[in-house]
């Protein structure tokens, strides 16, 4: 603590000023300034911020408690870090407690004991030193970011575990891992508070825990949801907005990007790669319930199907009990993977996918021959048609109205159920946890090998990598599975 600490004295009492001069102005570690009034003090603070302020409790133009509120009302403001000592004449504990409750860091009474005065100001000096040290470390923390994780899009089970596993593997390589708080949006905003430093090792985290923005990644390995992501950032479609993100990446000296999410997230990282130098490595990890990335299993799809199928089984049981028809909307915006496999897992009677071509008359005729049935409709079914017609019905309701439009009377009660979002918050199952570990390890290996623009892929137990320019963002469905998902109108249905 060799630098001088700035002390501002706000007082017009001559006796007090004399003591301040004898005690503080002669101390080599302090640079002392004076102000007679509160408003004068505020002008000086705005011009050059002091480290410590001694403020007369009853300054004529501003009560000491009002000055407390001015400094301390916003805990995130730099003003709140100024060490404030109120100086008063009243020695009661009630007065001291009142001042401290209003935000004063200390309270001292006149007449001064000079040794006590110096000791209390030095307490403020030590605390100010700590604030400066933390602020300096915080500023340096995000000036250069080695590996930066970006998560975007709809939540899927597995976001958090793969984040933890990536951090773990890269720390073992001696790399430093960072993340954006809110996906691509944080990259565009580009302020220190838009980023965080991920630390997996517990002992290393303890050493850095005092710094704002340091986040312990290890607990994420078994956590639901996605702690570090945002809903899809629509503005990122604008190329000028993307250029701001590129500027942030270059200014922060990012060495590698790892994007985590679904097809929209991949398109985002691909757009950045078109503008970034090849020296910035880039990778993509697919995390999506609907498996909307082709050529690989996606983290989250196994949990999604397991939970989706169980929900549909419940509808199947209720349909049998009450002799009714359920039309249930489930996830499946474009590929319909989730709707198809949830339908198959629960042995529902029909899966209606985004690209399905349905003979609605045949469906109604088949339903009228049954006591009960469950039809699974992907949320993306005729989405563009519904949007163009200004129809706000969900996919299940829309499909039901198409059945009614055939003019054939339905013999059973029909219940339409909307999309259930709780699947997104499901705890990732063993398959997705294992997949997250495999993909995280592979990405760490690709990065260490100096490769770039790759997505780890795992399919039927085989591990490989797909280059960005070969990734397809519309998964394919086997024709045999499509046949199996129709137990209503295909021949020999059971």
CATH, range 306-424+479-484: 3.40.50.460
pLDDT of residue 2: 61
Asked whether the domain spanning 147-299+429-459 has the same topology as the one spanning 5-141, the reply is yes
Closest to 178 in 3D by CA, of 144, 211, 140, 133: 144
Tokens of 53: 């302020």
pLDDT value at residue 292: 83
CATH class of domain segment(s) 5-141: alpha beta
Give yes or no for a contact between 25 and 118, defined as CB atoms under 8 angstroms apart: no
Tokens of 485: 């998902």
Q: Contact 245/188 with Cβ under 8 angstroms?
A: yes
Q: What is the pLDDT of residue 42?
A: 93
Whole-number pLDDT of residue 82: 93
Rounded (10°) CA dihedral 141, 142, 146, 147: 120
Task: Reply yes or no: is the peptide bond before residue 111 cis, omega within 30 of 0.
Answer: yes
Give residue 332's region: left, alpha or beta (phi > 0; psi -120 to 50). Answer: left
Tens of each residue's pLDDT in the chain, 494 residues: 467 899 999 998 888 888 998 899 888 899 999 999 999 999 999 899 999 999 999 898 998 999 999 998 888 788 998 999 999 988 888 999 999 999 999 999 988 888 999 999 999 999 988 888 777 777 788 899 999 999 987 788 999 999 999 999 999 999 999 999 999 999 999 999 999 999 999 999 998 888 888 999 999 998 988 888 767 788 999 999 999 999 999 999 999 999 999 988 999 999 999 999 999 999 999 999 888 888 999 999 999 999 999 999 999 999 999 999 999 999 888 888 999 999 999 999 999 999 889 999 999 999 999 999 999 999 999 999 999 999 989 999 999 999 999 999 999 999 999 887 788 888 999 999 999 999 999 999 999 999 999 999 998 889 999 999 999 887 666 677 888 889 898 765 55
Question: Tell me, which fold does domain 147-299+429-459 have in CATH?
Answer: Rossmann fold (3.40.50)
- Quote the CA–CA distance of 200 and 225 in Å, as a whole number: 18
- pLDDT for the residue 183: 93
**Domain locations along the chain:** 5-141, 147-299+429-459, 306-424+479-484
């Amino acid at each position: 603590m060799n630098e001088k600490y700035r002390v501002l004295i706000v007082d017009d009492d001559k006796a007090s000023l004399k003591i301040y001069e004898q005690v503080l102005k002669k101390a080599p570690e302090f640079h002392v300034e004076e102000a007679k009034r509160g408003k004068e003090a505020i002008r000086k603070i705005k011009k050059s911020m002091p480290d410590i302020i001694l403020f007369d409790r009853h300054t004529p133009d501003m009560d000491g408690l009002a000055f407390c509120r001015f400094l301390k009302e916003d805990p995130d403001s730099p003003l709140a870090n100024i060490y404030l000592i109120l100086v008063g004449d009243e020695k009661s504990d009630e007065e001291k407690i009142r001042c401290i409750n209003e935000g004063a860091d200390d309270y001292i009474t006149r007449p001064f004991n000079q040794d006590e005065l110096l000791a209390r100001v030095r307490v403020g000096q030590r605390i100010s030193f700590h604030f400066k040290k933390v602020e300096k470390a915080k500023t340096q923390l995000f000036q250069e970011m080695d590996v930066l994780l970006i998560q975007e899009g709809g939540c899927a089970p597995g976001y958090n575990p793969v984040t933890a596993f990536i951090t773990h593997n890269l720390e073992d390589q001696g790399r430093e891992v960072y993340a954006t708080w809110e996906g691509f949006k944080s990259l565009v905003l580009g302020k220190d508070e838009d980023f965080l430093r991920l630390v997996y090792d517990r002992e290393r985290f303890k050493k850095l825990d005092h710094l704002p923005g340091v986040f312990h990644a290890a607990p994420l390995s078994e956590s639901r949801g996605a702690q570090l992501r945002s809903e899809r950032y629509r503005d990122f479609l604008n190329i000028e907005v993307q250029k701001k993100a590129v500027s942030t990446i270059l200014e922060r000296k990012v060495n590698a990007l790892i994007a985590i999410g679904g097809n929209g997230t991949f398109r985002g990282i691909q757009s950045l790669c078109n503008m970034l130098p090849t020296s910035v490595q880039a990778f993509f990890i697919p995390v999506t319930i609907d498996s909307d990335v082709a050529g690989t299993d996606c983290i989250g799809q196994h949990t999604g199907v397991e939970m989706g199928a169980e929900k549909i089984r419940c509808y199947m049981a209720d349909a049998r009990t009450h002799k009714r028809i359920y039309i249930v909307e489930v996830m499946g915006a474009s590929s319909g993977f989730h709707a198809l496999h949830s339908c198959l897992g629960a042995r529902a009677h029909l899966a209606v996918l985004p690209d399905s071509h349905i003979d609605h008359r045949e469906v109604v005729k088949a339903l009228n021959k049954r006591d009960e049935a469950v039809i699974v409709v992907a949320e993306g079914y005729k989405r563009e048609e519904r949007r163009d017609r200004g129809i706000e019905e969900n996919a299940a309701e829309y499909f039901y109205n198409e059945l009614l439009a055939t003019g054939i009377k339905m013999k059973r009660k029909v219940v339409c159920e909307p999309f259930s979002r709780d699947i997104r918050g499901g705890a990732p199952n063993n398959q997705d946890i294992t997949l997250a570990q495999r993909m995280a390890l592979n990405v760490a290996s690709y990065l260490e090998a100096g490769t770039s623009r790759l997505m780890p892929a795992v399919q039927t137990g085989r591990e490989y990598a797909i280059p960005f320019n070969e990734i397809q963002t519309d998964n394919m469905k086997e024709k045999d599975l499509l046949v199996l998902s129709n137990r209503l109108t295909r021949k020999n249905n059971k």
